[in-house]
Amino acid sequence: MSDEMASMVIDDTRDRMARAVDRARAEFSSIRTGRASPALVEKIPVEYYGSDVPLQQLAGFSVPEARMLVIAPFDKGAMAAIEKAIRQSDLGLNPSNDGNNIRLSFPPLTAERRREYVKIVKGMAEDGRISVRNLRRSGRQELEGLEKDGDLSEDELTRAEKELDKVTQAAEAAIDAALAHKEQELLED
């Protein structure tokens, strides 16, 4: 019975760490490389009929070329609001409107801007690692609480903590792998 409780704590922590890793990867995708990607703009809030709506709910996206993103609004009346939101975002893009679609042309990144983005991505990775460590700490506290209540022996606690450390190391390794991939993507021409 006590081993099951420890397994439940570890499984719950593993799930929460997996969500933290996914969140870190999603943040990485919001940093632009030299290529066009819908992930860069789909979360931009657009004021639509008095409320802020993510762009992905107002338009479809396509990438006809490596450095071109085409946004096709579902409602043509939202074109001006979408253009305004893109201009106000910190992406530094200038949308062009042909009446049906909005085109975004991505200029090549300068070496200085690439290094800046790498620093930003490393900060995001560190935030992800910190969140994983916080989850490990809360999992460890739950396990120690089980031991204190007499539901877990000292040996079982030690075994569970070792398993928790393995889960933590795997989550941190996943964040590091995503970071390495994003860094390579940012630094290539």
Element containing residue 51 per DSSP (H, E): strand 51-54
Q: Are residues 94 and 121 in the same domain?
A: no
CATH number of the domain bearing residue 18: 1.10.132.20
Q: Is residue 15 located within the same domain as residue 76?
A: no
How much is the pLDDT for 34?
67
pLDDT score, position 35: 72
**The pLDDT of residue 115:** 84
Q: pLDDT tens string for the chain (189 positions)?
A: 567 888 899 999 999 999 999 999 988 877 766 677 787 788 889 998 888 889 888 899 988 887 888 999 998 888 889 988 888 887 777 888 888 889 988 777 788 878 888 888 899 999 999 999 999 999 999 999 988 988 888 888 899 999 999 999 999 999 999 999 988 888 875
CATH number of the domain that residue 97 is part of? 3.30.1360.40
d(CA 60, CA 43): 13
Q: Looking at 78, 105, 132, which one is the last position of a domain?
A: 105
Residues 45 and 96 placed together within one structural domain of the fold: yes
Residues 119, 145 share a domain: yes
Rounded CA-CA distance 181/184 in Å is 5
In sequence order, which residues have a C-beta less than 8 Å from that of residue 152 and are 6 or more positions away? Answer: 2, 5, 6, 143, 146, 160
**Of 135, 129, 128, which is closest to residue 9 (Cα–Cα)?**
135
Same domain, 93 and 121: no
> Using CA atoms, how far apart are residues 125 and 132, in angstroms rounded to an integer?
11
The answer on 179 and 116 residing in a single domain is yes
Of 85, 105, 125, the one marking the end of a domain is 105
Q: Are residues 23 and 46 in the same domain?
A: no
Domain count, the chain: 2
Domain boundary among 84, 105, 126: 105
The residue written with tokens 């590091």 in the block is 176
pLDDT at 17: 94
Which residue in 21, 11, 19, 14 sits closest to 172, CA to CA? Answer: 21
Domain of 138 in residue numbering reads as 2-30+110-187
